[in-house]
Amino acid sequence: MGNGKEPPDRQEYLTERKLLIELESTAASTFDKAMLTLSAGAIGLSITFTEKIASNPICKEFLYTSWCFLLVSLLAILSSFITSQHALREQRDNLDGRYNEMDFKEKTTFAMVTNILNWLSISTFTIGIIFLIIFAIKNYKN
């Protein structure tokens, strides 16, 4: 080694790696739950708002657009659950193949799709909330 540092002990490396994987899994689970709760909650809140505060709403197109984006957010995060299962299964199979000295792909298609769905979920959620805020502002003074 050119930098003068000793390589980490293999067991220390594996322990640290396992911890990082567990933390990543916890963060992913928390993200999924938060997106489901926030998207569904925003839809529920908007329905309550139109019933209790703005019973004769104006600019309904903002509300409908908001609902569309929030529903896409919900569908994307729910779809990511399925693709995540497939991604984990493929990664496990790839790991088994590597262990048995077979071909090994670094990142599976399902892992990439899951990542796209997660980004789609957060993006559409954000857009949906923006339209919901515009709708609420336009109707709060009525």
Compute the CA torsion angle 104, 107, 113, 116 (nearest 10 deg): -170
Q: Is residue 85 part of a domain?
A: yes
Query: Who wins on pLDDT, 92 or 79?
Result: 79
Q: Is residue 17 part of a domain?
A: no
b/e for 114-123, b at 16 or more Cβ within 10 A?
beebbebbbe
Contacts of 87 (CB under 8 A, 6+ apart): 108, 110, 111, 113, 114
Distance of CA 11 to the CA centre of its chain: 32
Average pLDDT, the chain: 83
Q: Is residue 26 part of a domain?
A: no
Q: Are 43 and 67 in contact (CB under 8 A)?
A: yes
Using 50, 70 and 90 to split pLDDT, how confident is the model at 44? Answer: very high
Q: Is residue 14 part of a domain?
A: no
Using 50, 70 and 90 to split pLDDT, how confident is the model at 104? Answer: low
Q: Is residue 126 part of a domain?
A: yes
| Total domains present in the chain | 1
pLDDT of residue 87: 83
pLDDT of residue 24: 86
Q: Is residue 22 part of a domain?
A: no
Helix (H, G, I), strand (E, B) or coil at 140: helix
What gap in Å lies between CA 133 and CA 59, rounded to an integer? 12
For the whole model, what pTM was predicted? 0.65
Average pLDDT for residues 54-62, to the nearest whole number?
A: 86
Structure token pair of residue 70: 């929030």
Structure token pair of residue 115: 């990542």
Give the domain range for residue 111.
35-140
Q: Is residue 49 part of a domain?
A: yes
Q: Is residue 25 part of a domain?
A: no
Using 50, 70 and 90 to split pLDDT, how confident is the model at 56? Answer: confident
Average pLDDT for residues 55-61, to the nearest whole number?
A: 87
CB-based burial label for 51 (10 Å; 0-12, 13-18, 19+): exposed
Q: Is the pLDDT of residue 1 over 50?
A: no
Using 50, 70 and 90 to split pLDDT, how confident is the model at 7? Answer: low
Average pLDDT for residues 97-114, to the nearest whole number?
A: 69
